[in-house]
Structure 1
Amino acid sequence: MASIITAIDWPALSAWVEQETRRREHHNPAISVFRWWARRPHSLIRALLEAARSQGVRYVADPFSGGGTVALEAAASGLSAYAQDLYPWPVFGLQTALSQADPERLRVEGERLLRHLDPLRRYYQRGDGRELAGILRVRVVRCLGCEATFPLYPEGVLSKVRRNGNEAYHGCRRCGNVSLEAHCACGYEPPVTPAGKEACPHCGAVSAVSTAGWTAPLVLEEENGRVLVRPAVEGDPVAFIPASSSFPQLRHSIKAGLETRRLHRSGLQYWGDVYSEAQAAVILEGLDYLRERRMPAGVRNRLALAVLGLGEMGALLARWDRLYCKGIEGVANHRYAIPPVAFEANPLASVGRGVLRRRLEAAYRAADWYQGLENKGRVRLVAGSSERQALKRRVVDLVLTDPPYFDDVQYGEMARLFHFWLGQYQPMSVDEEREAVPNPVRGISAAGYAERLEAIFKESLRSLRRGGRIILSYHNRELRAWEALASALRANGLRLRAAAVVLAESANDHSKRGTQAQLYDAILELEPGYGGGAEAVWCQEDPVAKNLFAVALALGETLKGQPLAESYVAQCAALGVEPSIC
């Protein structure tokens, strides 16, 4: 078989990827039905599958299916596919996205669900009938010096009044006042402090602080179909009642972990502590209703996925974009972090991000997309460690996947929030111990990561036909990650046939904005065998992209026995860039 990735028009594909990363859900609505991380662009996977199909590929396997891009694109292309992931949440989400559901019946049942939940809007209604679309809560912290408490208002703007307006609210840490004036009437001017430290506005001490509670200075209301931010006044239902105090079934302990320890530091003991009583009431009642009402399973699960997705907007976990006046899902930045300004969304509001109506509309679009596919490919889905795959020997033409990018994302810990809610809907079990991600809390080192990858690649090779290929997308800024990947590939007797580098992420994504995040992916085409030179296919003219290209080509030399670090430096010199991966 000729090289697959050399058959692709990479400059044209790069332009398509750049367009897609600006608005992913517009290119494939199915990605909006459930959250997962590190999803590869659909246009990239589609191009790889089209090139593979032209060379006779009919059966594709993805042992790290995650967000399901390969499975979804294989189904759309009429190819057969096998997709497996360790965790129940992405498998349930992908299974639902690929299930048949009559779009008209789905819409009817969705409206019935909203009508059933309508009485729960009372949680956010004032005595005069006005309804809040959301609540902005500001963390109150305690000075470890004088023991005084103060609200952790951000410097500068607390929130704009309207997204397209110029007026903005500012908060004063000393007197607690919120106004439209940039400088408080009390005269307090916050000093510049080191990162991670806060200056007490009462005693002036600069030190770490501890969470002491929350205050709700601002609320959201609807104004002509848009969000209006205003100060909270008497009669606004802004009191925070943790869901764990109202619903005993939500007293599910937050297990200690590398990421979840941030929640522990903020005093959160149970997952129910993250949500307000009102938010949890909507989710639990919605799931109860769907379990009890008779309807096709495909319809029920699509609606359930919309309800379960509300778990992203935990009242103390979701963040507020103060300049764009919108909520940001609590897990959108691939990290757990209790923000200084948290956003509690009213799940039943008619405006704003994260509300149930918008999630249902995304479910409708995804169902329309799947219904509109003319020649759907068959996809087999399996949950569990891919160290054992439910495939016969030599039946797969192409393994197309993106293994975990070392320790960039702690998938299991981030998915605990979704597994917590999924467990309220259906029985399931989770085994984080088999995750192929370094995690010192679980005792998984770089060597352990390499061992897990080695076992999974070995199992994938068992099912790969003679002459078949493995194509990986991968990136990392640490050489030890590439060394671990090379170790797993070399142990399975694989060689690099060809490599390319392409844009894979948008710098405007909330989790990437203003950071040093890697925006490119190396595309590695591998095959069984030793020796031979790798073909350098294509790379964008960007120092970051060239560094990634250099380390990808160096990996090919490492599979032949050369030291990775030396090969990488040599490749950088050949490409005319300074090494930046270390």
Structure 2
Amino acid sequence: MKTPLDTDFNTDFANQIAQLEAYNKHHYRPNSYLHKWWARRCGSTFRLILKQLVEDEARRDYYAPGGLAGKIILDPMMGGGTTLHEAIRLDAHVVGADLEPIPVLQARATLTPVDMVALEKAYKQFYTALRKEITPFFQTKCPQTGVETPINYTLYGVKRICNGRSVIMVDSLVLRVESDGSTVQLCPRCHAVLVDTAVCSCGDSAEKPPLLEKGTKIFAEQPAEFEDDYSIPHYQRYVPLALVMRCPRQKGLRFKAPDGHDLALLALADDLRQTLPFDRADFAIEPGRKSRQLTPREIDNYLDLFSSRQLLYLHHAIQLLPQFPPEIRLNLGLLVSTSLEFNSMLCGYKGKNKRRAGAIRHTFSHHAYSFPYTALENNPVYPRKASGTLQKLFQSRVRNGRLWAQKPRERVIGKRYSVSGKRLSVNSKLPFVEIVGERDAGVEVQQVVEMTAEQVPSFLLLQGSSTALDLPDSSVDFIVTDPPYFDSVQYSDLAAFFRVWLRHLLPDAANWAYDTQESAVDPHQLDSESRYTELMSGIFAECRRVLKGENGRFIFTFHHWNPKGWAALTVALRQAGFALVNRYVVYSENPISVHISGMKALLHDAILVFAPKEAVDMVWERPSHINQSDSEQFCYDCGTFLGWVLQQDVVETAVQDLWQEALL
């Protein structure tokens, strides 16, 4: 029996909606963005894929609810959980597996129905208690009125040596350009905060280290040569230069240089840091491909990436969480963990221009570790819903996500406002429509045998290697996933930044002692081509084992410039016994995304549809050439070539030669 996806996929519609979603994916599917994860694909694309597996043609429409009731969908490499969320909305049972604990915890938190009244009450209790402990360290006085007010964030410069003299480096001396053209800037001599045209009277008498802007080439009439003192912990390499707040008696942001009282509070936090019960051995950095960026700076412990106030925040959060019920504790623990992306001493400042949204350049804005000259220490318990605060994150990641999950919406494309003759009601200024009858939630089960046709949509989560899935043979109808790409970003390595804290925030919620060497893209020494092929072969073999007979389909998205990546994929598919049924190409990446900007990045994904080879009668012709000048055509040609190679009777060692020749 064929599926509609075997022969048909609306790529025009998929591209239209993906080009909109790619710019702000978290606004389109807020419930799947509770915690930081990387390389998420557009949910709309996966909804379209799943809709083409629906038997009832009337329910196959993108805007029609449901359609997969009773079907079991597996994602063996679930990452951000896109497949699970999209499939459970269509009334399917879903199984998600991942070696990493963060995807498992995030899926459990976001797929489990929660009493929002109870969650809101618990959050308020948690936030109030946390704020009581932390706020005293984030208080200052408004420089204009003298009124005590909470600090929004603190800006730091980094200490360096230039031509033998101590200096402090910043990204820019200008801290703010208002809409009327007025500025807030730092005096490079005495570090005073100067508003608009004010001129500092310090002259040459200032005794503080001079402030230098990033890119300084000449200092003291000599070519600037810089050195760094890595003998002190990372957090101590930064000097506070400006406190930013909102005075209750005045409008707009206020900037001030820290005074004696402010510095005394910072010193007190530093003293308390020494009393915190954190064992440095628990936070040691294991060198992976991304975390090796920390080694040249002699950073070997995650604790050193956080200020003393940030560690106090984490300590009190850890102390407060055990009082809450497990499902509430899971949500709050993930909330605190994801807040660390906006609350570390790796955060930069991008609030110079008032017209630019948000002041924080978060820790992983470049999918890597970066080290700003102007570091930003956020106030996580700031009472307003400001960028990176608990108040803001609870609103955007938890409250908005759960409300959306109860009434999912989809973007309406063009002038289409009806499904099966029924008019769609557009309930916002943007053309979004609620998909009546859908819910992004289900009931968690412990075994796949509990997933019956009579059962409401359910989910099963497996933490462990997908080379050995705890599932019966022929137990899932379809497998839809997005595998890690050969030589891709080391997400497991980057995730350690959160993992070391989550195992203290949620110690009993996951297996924190798992072996990262089982990751398909290993963050340590085994991330070789052969290891990738071996692990993907093992995962694909398990997919073949658990997939139901001739009607089962194995579907995933993929793209890669490197012939070794395609060759590894081909070998894994051959060993597992899969053949290509069809391939489609869809838009996938925002071209101005900061982590691909300026790179030779593919902006499209190939959607590859496979079935057990004995169920495939399609004969693939070798393409005359692979177009390497166009992202979309390249992915299409590679998909076609993959289908052809899978049908060739050649030894595995010849597979890479075929790809190498094709992608010369």
Instruction: Identify the TM-score tier after normalising by the shorter chain.
Output: 0.7 to 0.9
CA distance 1:108–1:508, shift in 2 (3 Å):
farther
Once the two structures are superposed, the pairs formed by residues 424-573 of structure 1 within 5 Å of their partners are 424-425=504-505, 426-427=507-508, 428-437=512-521, 439=523, 441-467=524-550, 468-529=552-613, 532-533=619-620, 543-561=630-648
Tell me the secondary structure at the aligned position of residue 237 of structure 1: helix
> Amino acid of the residue matched to residue 82 of structure 1?
V
Tell me the secondary structure at the aligned position of residue 38 of structure 1: coil
CA distance 1:477–1:170, shift in 2 (3 Å):
farther
> Amino acid of the residue matched to residue 455 of structure 1?
G
Is structure 2 residue 331 aligned with structure 1 residue 299? no
- Could you say which residue in structure 2 is the equivalent of 1:9? 10
Shift of 1:307: 1.8
- Could you say which residue in structure 1 is the equivalent of 2:287? 256
CA distance 1:435–1:192, shift in 2 (3 Å):
closer
> Amino acid of the residue matched to residue 481 of structure 1?
G
CA distance 1:159–1:494, shift in 2 (3 Å):
farther
Tell me the secondary structure at the aligned position of residue 396 of structure 1: coil
TM-score, length-scaled by structure 2: 0.76
Measured in 2, the distance between the counterparts of 1:534 and 1:49 equals 27
CA distance 1:387–1:541, shift in 2 (3 Å):
closer
Measured in 1, the distance between the counterparts of 2:460 and 2:621 equals 33
Residue by residue, what CA displacement relative to the aligned partner does 1:89-138 show, whole Å, maximum 9, x if unpaired? 12111111111210111112211222212222111102552221011222
Query: Is the 2:35–2:338 Cα contact (8 Å) retained in structure 1?
Result: yes
Measured in 2, the distance between the counterparts of 1:567 and 1:226 equals 62
Which of 138, 152, 165 is matched with 1:124 structurally? 138
Query: Is the 1:150–1:174 Cα contact (8 Å) retained in structure 2?
Result: no
- Could you say which residue in structure 2 is the equivalent of 1:311? 340
Residue by residue, what CA displacement relative to the aligned partner does 1:353-402 show, whole Å, maximum 9, x if unpaired? 11001121131222223345458421100111111111110111111111
Tell me the secondary structure at the aligned position of residue 605 of structure 2: strand
RMSD over aligned Cα, in angstroms? 3.6
Tell me the secondary structure at the aligned position of residue 572 of structure 2: helix
Shift of 1:496: 1.9
CA distance 1:404–1:209, shift in 2 (3 Å):
farther
**Any gaps of 5 or more consecutive residues in structure 2?**
57-66, 142-146, 205-209, 231-236, 408-437, 443-456, 649-653
Which of 219, 224, 241 is matched with 1:217 structurally? 241
CA distance 1:449–1:40, shift in 2 (3 Å):
same
CA distance 1:165–1:21, shift in 2 (3 Å):
farther
Query: Is the 1:388–1:459 Cα contact (8 Å) retained in structure 2?
Result: yes
Measured in 2, the distance between the counterparts of 1:5 and 1:221 equals 58
Deviates more, 1:395-404 or 1:229-238: 229-238
> Amino acid of the residue matched to residue 466 of structure 1?
G
Measured in 2, the distance between the counterparts of 1:277 and 1:454 equals 46
> Amino acid of the residue matched to residue 219 of structure 2?
P
> Amino acid of the residue matched to residue 497 of structure 2?
L
Query: Is the 2:588–2:603 Cα contact (8 Å) retained in structure 1?
Result: yes
Measured in 1, the distance between the counterparts of 2:251 and 2:578 equals 55
**Any gaps of 5 or more consecutive residues in structure 1?**
571-580
Tell me the secondary structure at the aligned position of residue 334 of structure 1: coil
CA distance 1:170–1:406, shift in 2 (3 Å):
farther
Residue by residue, what CA displacement relative to the aligned partner does 1:405-458 show, whole Å, maximum 9, x if unpaired? 12222121111011111111214323211111155x423211111111000000
Query: Is the 1:173–1:201 Cα contact (8 Å) retained in structure 2?
Result: no
- Could you say which residue in structure 1 is the equivalent of 2:253? 228
Shift of 1:206: 5.9
- Could you say which residue in structure 1 is the equivalent of 2:375? 342
Find the structure with the greater CA-based Rg.
2
Q: Percent identity?
A: 23
> Amino acid of the residue matched to residue 273 of structure 1?
D
Shift of 1:555: 2.3
Shift of 1:505: 2.3
Which of 159, 178, 190 is matched with 1:140 structurally? 159
Measured in 1, the distance between the counterparts of 2:44 and 2:97 equals 21
Is structure 2 residue 121 aligned with structure 1 residue 108? yes
- Could you say which residue in structure 1 is the equivalent of 2:64? none
Query: Is the 2:155–2:377 Cα contact (8 Å) retained in structure 1?
Result: yes
Query: Is the 1:158–1:169 Cα contact (8 Å) retained in structure 2?
Result: yes
Measured in 2, the distance between the counterparts of 1:28 and 1:447 equals 36
Query: Is the 1:496–1:527 Cα contact (8 Å) retained in structure 2?
Result: yes
Query: Is the 2:564–2:659 Cα contact (8 Å) retained in structure 1?
Result: no
Shift of 1:44: 0.7
Measured in 2, the distance between the counterparts of 1:173 and 1:546 equals 53
TM-score, length-scaled by structure 1: 0.86
> Amino acid of the residue matched to residue 289 of structure 2?
L
